[in-house]
Amino acid sequence: MSEPTIRIQKIKKDTVKTRLIIFGILALILLFCSVFCEHLTPYDPYLQDLKNAKAPPSPEHLFGTDRYGRDMLSRVIVGSKTSIFSTLLLVGIVTVLGTMVGVFCGWHGKWIDTVLMRISDMFLAFPGLVFAMAVAGVLGGGLQNAIIALVAISWPKYARIARSQTLAQKETPYLKAARLSGSGTWKIIFKHILPNIVGPIFVTSMLDIGTMMMELAGLSFLGLGAKPPTAEWGSMMSDARSLLSSVPWVTLAPGFAIFVSVMIFNLLGDTIRDYADPKSRGR
Amino acid sequence: MDQAILKVDNLTKVFSRKGKPDFTAVDHISFTMHPGECVGLIGESGSGKTTVVNMITRLLDPTEGSIILGGEDITRFSGRELRKVYARMQMVFQTPTDSFDPRCTLGDGIGESLRNNGWSRKETKDEVTRLLEMCGLSADFASRYPHQVSGGQCQRAAIARALAIKPRLLICDEATSSLDVTIQKEIIALLNKLRWEKGSDLSILFICHDIALVQQFCNRVLVLYKGKIVEQGEPDEVIRNPQDPYTRHLIDSIL
């Protein structure tokens, strides 16, 4: 009886590893594209060629051209720079900021914890994207402001995780031992607390990359993010949506790019979560 | 007798709970420890032993009373002042593996107090090796992680960590309870050896629920029951002639 069980577990573990490698490589390819996008484009993404406007996909223009005759493939590739980089920047800022607030609250406790956590409750009470639209609307359009708006709505989630993890760490004997060894607050936070809580926070932020990418593209689609003619997937879709029935490829190309990258980052996040949690891996 | 190393006066801890009456975990206890003395604190679980030591080490704020360490009242110390106090008082915890940070090596943990007191990396490394050898472990344990060693080895490392800064008071909070009997014996032998070596430079407050262990190890015993010290004296005397009904019950339950 015991042999088959062992075999099943082995296979399971291997798939997680394989998945991790596959999605890791796919994500790296996406990052590679966005870093070297200028060198990968077949045409100049901003060069207008009105004779060739609204051309359907063909061997010369794989994704066709838009209403100014700009090559869609080049624009989608260049758009990856704005979309992927802004998303990673956004996730990075939210993770660091939220973790800082959470660790501070968990460690300090007392009234400051209560005040900050009630504020985070207030943020969590609003529906996310609607609140982000309001913030971005008040700040005015532009990619920077869209990022600020999304940071404002996303930090409480990370603050909550970091706080609860810090509270759990605080009660462990090794943290008491660290206090007894005469370590100051900063040393304890950076040497003992952060290394022990970084795992779950990292998994959450990996899972959030896909969502953040969609929300950022969503804000751009609504005209609250990147402004044309900057190539950004959300604003490109919004730009061409009136022509959806006659030249569908102009909308579909960036849509497809969003779909693929959100999918890859979501699956990567899922896989990292499975990999990081040996309990769910064993089953 | 020269000056007391630790004087605890009327120490009280009241936990206030929402919607329930207050709970007095430790109720006005007072005792004194002299240099070189080994005092046992025994009592059943829930009797307030751990609360007492957490208050003495200032990991928990007392509700009332005072703690005087080497003539200095440390009851209201905080921050930098409190960190200095930890050079004179150290603790060995009940769960050896959990008392080391899983992300740091045993060497890091043992040397942490030295590094915090201005020792260089090189000096710390040499001292950690010496401490490990004193506690019966080889030098390569410094580079191992807590989950890579056994409970007994980890507890030896914990004792090495506690003694690194050369404290005058060592508190052992059920330091042997989670170990099996043979390892327990080894740890007691190690503590005994250290006591002989250090003489009056090291006093030990030994928290335990095993009265037999206290009898062979301690000079004096305090019996704690429901947060109060119900009896104290020399272990042999207390065991042979218990005055309090609870002590009698405790002894009967073992023999």
Average pLDDT over residues A42-68: 76
- Predicted local confidence at residue A92, as pLDDT: 92
Name the pLDDT band for A111 (thresholds 50, 70, 90).
confident
Contact flag B109-A177 (C-beta cutoff 8 Å)? yes
Domain ranges of chain B: 1-88+168-255, 96-166
Nearest residue in A to B102, CA atom: A196
- Decide if A173 and B98 are in contact by the 8 Å CB cutoff: yes
Q: How confident is the model at residue A199 (pLDDT cuts 50, 70, 90)?
A: confident
Question: Yes or no: is domain B1-88+168-255 CATH 3.40.50.300?
Answer: yes
Chain segment A123-173, per-residue pLDDT in tens: 888 887 888 888 888 887 778 888 888 888 888 889 999 999 898 888 888
Cβ atoms of A195 and A139 closer than 8 Å: no
Question: Which domains does chain A carry?
Answer: 2-44+65-282 (1.10.3720.10)
Question: pLDDT category, A94, cuts 50, 70, 90?
Answer: very high
Collect all residues of chain B within an 8 Å Cβ-Cβ radius of residue A175. Answer: 101
Band (pLDDT 50/70/90 cuts) for residue A251 is confident
Query: Model confidence at A9, in pLDDT bands (50, 70, 90)?
Result: low
Average pLDDT taken over every residue of chain A: 81
Q: For residues B99 and B102, what is the distance between their CA atoms, to the nearest angstrom?
A: 9
Token couple for A109: 């406790």
Q: Is residue A8 pLDDT above 60, yes or no?
A: no
pLDDT tier, A96 (very low <50, low <70, confident <90, very high otherwise): very high
Percent of chain A with pLDDT over 70: 92
| Contact criterion met (CB < 8 Å) for B104 and A191 | yes
Q: What is the complex's ipTM, to 2 decimals?
A: 0.81
Contacts of A172 in chain B (CB under 8 A): 98
| B140 touches A at CB < 8 Å | no
Q: How many C-beta atoms surround the C-beta of residue B2 within 10 A? A: 8
Give the whole-angstrom CA distance, residue A95 versus residue A156: 10
Q: Are A182 and B87 an interchain contact pair (Cβ–Cβ within 8 Å)?
A: yes
- Segment A208-234 shows an average pLDDT of 82
Secondary structure (DSSP) of A197-252: HHHHHHHHHHHHHHHHHHHHHHHHHTTSSSPTTS--HHHHHHHHGGGTTT-HHHHH
Check residue A14 and give its pLDDT. Answer: 62
For residue A154, what are the contacts with CB-CB under 8 A and spacing of at least 6? Answer: A90, A94, A98, A128, A208, A212
- Average pLDDT over every residue of B173-202: 82
